[in-house]
């Protein structure tokens, strides 16, 4: 059984960003992602669309380098403008080689 240790990046964001963020994740080197609908509350309380308090939660399993790139872009470009929450945690992944682009 081969397990690779990768980084799991989780992003909570406004629904309007779904298309843009997932596009960027792939551009930065992610090989896939998983999206869920959520509701939530934070300090900014900014939400668009007709129903307040709704958001999305994106998960992507990536290599450490891709993780760095995503976290940097989040800090520099997403965070100042939008209501996003981003965190990283380690994950041991079955067939982790699949998530290395190339």
Ligand X SMILES: Nc1ncnc2c1ncn2[C@@H]1O[C@H](COP(=O)(O)O)[C@@H](O)[C@H]1O
Does residue number 30 form part of the binding site for ligand X (CB under 6 A)?
yes
| Least Å from the CB of residue 78 to other proteins | 9
CA distance 69 to 63: 10
Burial class (CB in 10 A: 0-12, 13-18, 19+), 70: buried
**Of residues 3 and 26, the one with the C-beta less far from other proteins:** 26
Nearer to ligand X, 43 or 89 (CB): 43
Nearest distance in Å: CB 1, ligand X: 18
């Amino acid at each position: 059984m081969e397990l690779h240790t990768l980084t799991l990046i989780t992003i909570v964001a406004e629904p309007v960003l779904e298309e843009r963020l997932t596009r960027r994740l792939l551009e930065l080197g992610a090989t896939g992602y998983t999206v869920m609908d959520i509701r939530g509350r934070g300090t900014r309380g900014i939400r668009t669309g007709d129903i307040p308090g709704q958001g999305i939660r994106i998960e992507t399993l990536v290599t450490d380098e891709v993780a760095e790139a995503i976290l940097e872009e989040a800090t520099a470009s997403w965070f100042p403008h939008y209501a996003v929450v981003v965190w990283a945690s380690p994950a041991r992944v079955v067939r982790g080689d699949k998530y290395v682009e190339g």
